[in-house]
A and B are shown apart, each in its own frame.
Chain A
Amino acid sequence: MTDEPLFRVTSLSKYYGSRVGCEDITFDLWPGEVLAVVGESGSGKTTLLNCMSTRLMPTSGTAAYRMRDGTWRDLYRMSEAERRFLMRTDWGFVHQNPADGLRMTVSAGANVGERLMAVGDRHYGNIRSTAIDWLGRVEIGEDRIDDQPRAFSGGMRQRLQIARNLVTGPRLVFMDEPTGGLDVSVQARLLDLLRGLVTDLGLAAIVVTHDLAVARLLSQRMMVMKDGRVVETGLTDRVLDDPRAPYTQLLVSSILQV
C-alpha cells in the first residue's frame, strides 16, 4: 500500500460575506479510507464538501489531490477543464436528492453510460453491457434499463445515482447525506450496499451526515464539526464510544437517548 495520503486539506476557510461557512480546516484523507463528517445543521459540512470537490471556491486555504500518476495537484489552481475531467473520471459525487445527480429524462442505462461516453467509449454494445452489470451491482434489474428514473422509487434512484458515479472506477466519492430522504428500511439496505461497494472497490469516501448511525456503519474515521470548525477527529469507534470534546459528548449522548 501507499504511505501517502490521497487528499490533503490545509487551513481551508469559506466565508459567505461575514458568515462563516467553514473555518481553518486541516486534515488528510488516505486511499481507501471512509471519513464521515458529522455535525448539526449549519455546522459547515456541505460547505467543506463542496470546497473539497471544487464545486465551490474557498476564501482561503489549499486542497491538494494525488493524481493516478502519483503527482500532487493544487485543486484550486487547476484549469476548469482539468477539474471537470477529474470530476467525471476519478471522482464521484452523490447528492442527497437523486434528481440533482441524475438526468431524469433519459433512461437508467444512459444515466449509467453517460460517463463512459464522456470519456470516449463509442461502442454501444459495451456501454450497454457495462450499464447492465452496474445496475445489477446496485440491485436494479436488467429489465429496468430502458426506464427513466422518473419511474423509480427514491431508493432506486439513489442506487442508480451511485451506479452512475462508480461506473468509471473513481478513487474518491463525495457523498452529501446519501441516505437523507429515505425511509429507515430503505436506508438500511442502501447503507449495506454502499458499505459493500466501498469495501470491494477500495474506494476513499467523504460522507457528510448528521446521522451517527450512518457514520458508525460506513466510516473508519470521523470528524465532528460545529460552527464551521472541527471540534474532534478520530477513529469512528473511538469517537462514538469515548468522545473527548464536550460537544461530541453531548451529541453522542443525545443520540443515545433517542
Chain B
Amino acid sequence: MNIQATDIATYNFAYLDEQTKRMIRRAILKGIAIPGYQVPFASREMPMPYGWGTGGVQVTASIIGPDDILKVIDQGADDTTNAVSIRAFFKKVADVAVTTETEKATIIQTRHRIPEAPLHAGQVLVYQVPIPEPLRFLEPRETETRKMHALEEYGLMHVKLYEDIARHGHIATTYAYPVKVEGRYVMDPSPTPKFDNPKMNMSPALQLFGAGREKRIYAVPPFTKVVSLDFEDHPFEIQKFDQPCALCGAEQVYLDEVILDDKGGHMFVCSDTDHCEKRREDGHRGHMAPENESRASPSSSAGPSPRKDGEEEAPTLTPPSPRPLRGEGKGEGQHQTFEKSREAE
C-alpha cells in the first residue's frame, strides 16, 4: 500500500498532466458536438507503444475521475494481457476501482468488441482505434479524404462494398464495417465485428474513439443514429452463428473459436467473457460446460487462468495479438488478413 502511494505521487492523476487532459477534453467535446467527425488532437507519448491502445488510454485518462469504475476488454475478454495491463495502469496512476462486470463499470475501454449486456445511460465506452479514416483504403490522400467528408462525398464507400459483392457474392467486410452517423459523417467503428454495429445505434451510452498514432478523436453521443452502409439488394446483415456458446448456451452473441488440442478439437464460446460468466452463474449451461463447475471463466479451460482484481501485477506488455488459443470468430477466414493489415497501429 505504501509503495502504491509513493507511486501515485510520482504521476499526475491519471498520468497525463492537466493541460493535456484539457486539450483532449476539448477534442472530445468537439467530437460530441459533431457526431462521427474526426477531430485532430495532439496525441502524447504514453508509457506504452502505439498499437497498445494509446488513443483509448489518453481518452480514458482525460475523462476518468476518482469515483469511476473502470472495465477494460480486449476482443471481449477482461483477462488478456493487454486488458490486464491497461487496467493495472489506471489502478496505479488513478487509484480507481476496476471491475470486469459490464453492469457496474462507468467507463469501459475496449479493443474490438462492444459488450453483449446492453449499456445504460451514464456509461462511457472508449474504443481503441488503429485507423480512423474509413476512406483511407481507396483514397490515400488525406487532403482528399478531408474534402470528401466536408462535402459529404461518400460514393467511394459504396465502391468498396460493390467490390466486395463483385468478388465474393456478398458484402464480405466483417470488421470495421463503415457506418453513417446521424445521417452525416461516415465513420469507421474501429475493428469491431459488424455483429456489434447495431449496438452502436441509439445507444444510451456515450461512445468515444481514440486513435493515438493517427492523432484523431471522434464520438457518438448517446441516442445517436448509427446506420451500417449497404445496398438495397444486399442489405446489411450481422454474422450468424449456427450453434450456441458451448459453455453457457447463449444464442445471438458473438462467438470465438477456441482450439482445444492439436487434433482439430475446438468449441465456440462467448467472446464476451463477463457475459458468459454471468450466464453460468445464473445456471445456464452449454453442451461442453464442465460438470459441477462454479465460477469458471471460459478462458480458464483454454487460456491462462483469470486473475482476481487486486491480484494484478505490474503491467507487463506483450503485443496485442489474439489470445494464443483463440481464433477469430467463425467464418472470418478471409477477413483475418484484412484485419492483420489494419493492426499496424
Q: In the complex the two chains form, what is the Cα distance from A233 to B299 in whole Å?
A: 81
Assess the B162–A127 pair: CB atoms within 8 A: yes
**Chain A positions within 8 Å of B230 at CB level:** 122
Assess the A118–B153 pair: CB atoms within 8 A: yes
Does B138 interact with chain A (Cβ within 8 Å)?
A: yes
Assess the B163–A117 pair: CB atoms within 8 A: no
Residue-wise, chain B 146-171 has the 8 Å CB interface mask toward A (1 for contact) of 01000101011011001101110000
Does B291 interact with chain A (Cβ within 8 Å)?
A: no
Which of B5-13, B96-104, B191-199, B231-239 faces chain A?
B231-239
**Chain B positions within 8 Å of A127 at CB level:** 162
Known: A80-B151, A84-B151, A106-B163. A117 touches B233 (CB 8 A): no
**Chain B positions within 8 Å of A124 at CB level:** 162, 165, 231-234
User: Interface residues of A toward B: which range?
Assistant: 20 to 34
Does A68 interact with chain B (Cβ within 8 Å)?
A: no
CB distance from B134 to the nearest CB of A (A): 15
Q: In the complex the two chains form, what is the Cα distance from A116 to B163 in whole Å?
A: 14
Q: In the complex the two chains form, what is the Cα distance from A109 to B233 in whole Å?
A: 17
Assess the A117–B155 pair: CB atoms within 8 A: yes
Does A70 interact with chain B (Cβ within 8 Å)?
A: no
Most A C-beta atoms less than 10 A away, residue of B147, B155, B156, B234? B155
- Closest A residue to B139 by CB, please name it: A103
Assess the A114–B155 pair: CB atoms within 8 A: yes
Q: In the complex the two chains form, what is the Cα distance from A88 to B155 in whole Å?
A: 11
Assess the B233–A110 pair: CB atoms within 8 A: no
Assess the B166–A146 pair: CB atoms within 8 A: yes
**Chain B positions within 8 Å of A128 at CB level:** 166
Assess the A119–B151 pair: CB atoms within 8 A: no
**Chain B positions within 8 Å of A118 at CB level:** 153, 155-156
Assess the A103–B167 pair: CB atoms within 8 A: no
Does A115 interact with chain B (Cβ within 8 Å)?
A: yes
Restricting to B218-270, which residues have a CB under 8 Å from any CB of A? 230-234
Assess the B155–A109 pair: CB atoms within 8 A: no
Count how many pairs of residues, one from A and one from B, have CB atoms less than 8 Å apart in the complex. 54
Restricting to A86-119, which residues have a CB under 8 Å from any CB of B? 88, 103, 105-107, 109-110, 113-115, 117-119
Assess the A125–B233 pair: CB atoms within 8 A: yes
Assess the B231–A122 pair: CB atoms within 8 A: yes
Q: In the complex the two chains form, what is the Cα distance from A110 to B165 in whole Å?
A: 11
Does A19 interact with chain B (Cβ within 8 Å)?
A: no
Does A184 interact with chain B (Cβ within 8 Å)?
A: no
**Chain B positions within 8 Å of A110 at CB level:** 159, 162-163, 166
Assess the B232–A84 pair: CB atoms within 8 A: no
Known: A122-B231, A124-B231, A125-B233. A106 touches B165 (CB 8 A): no
Assess the B166–A103 pair: CB atoms within 8 A: no
Residue-wise, chain A 133-163 has the 8 Å CB interface mask toward B (1 for contact) of 0000000000001100000000000000000
Q: In the complex the two chains form, what is the Cα distance from A194 to B234 in whole Å?
A: 35
Assess the A107–B163 pair: CB atoms within 8 A: yes
Q: In the complex the two chains form, what is the Cα distance from A77 to B162 in whole Å?
A: 35
Assess the A123–B233 pair: CB atoms within 8 A: yes
**Chain A positions within 8 Å of B162 at CB level:** 109-110, 113, 117, 124, 127
Q: In the complex the two chains form, what is the Cα distance from A62 to B120 in whole Å?
A: 58
Residue-wise, chain A 170-211 has the 8 Å CB interface mask toward B (1 for contact) of 000000000000000000000000000000000000000000
Does A258 interact with chain B (Cβ within 8 Å)?
A: no
> Among the listed B156, B163, B167, B231, which residue makes an inter-chain contact with A123, where contact means beta carbons less than 8 Å apart?
B231
- Closest A residue to B166 by CB, please name it: A146
Q: In the complex the two chains form, what is the Cα distance from A38 to B79 in whole Å?
A: 71
Known: A84-B151, A109-B166, A146-B166. A103 touches B159 (CB 8 A): yes
- Which residues of A are in contact with B by a Cβ distance under 8 Å? 80-81, 84, 88, 103, 105-107, 109-110, 113-115, 117-119, 122-125, 127-128, 145-146
- Which residues of B are in contact with A by a Cβ distance under 8 Å? 138, 147, 151, 153, 155-156, 158-159, 162-163, 165-167, 230-234
Sample of 13 further A-B pairs with CB below 8 A, known A109-B162, A123-B232: A80-B151, A84-B151, A107-B166, A110-B166, A114-B159, A117-B155, A117-B156, A118-B153, A118-B155, A122-B231, A123-B231, A124-B233, A145-B166
Q: Which 9 pairs show the lowest CB-CB distances between chains A and B?
A: A118-B155, A117-B158, A124-B231, A117-B155, A81-B151, A123-B232, A110-B159, A110-B162, A125-B233
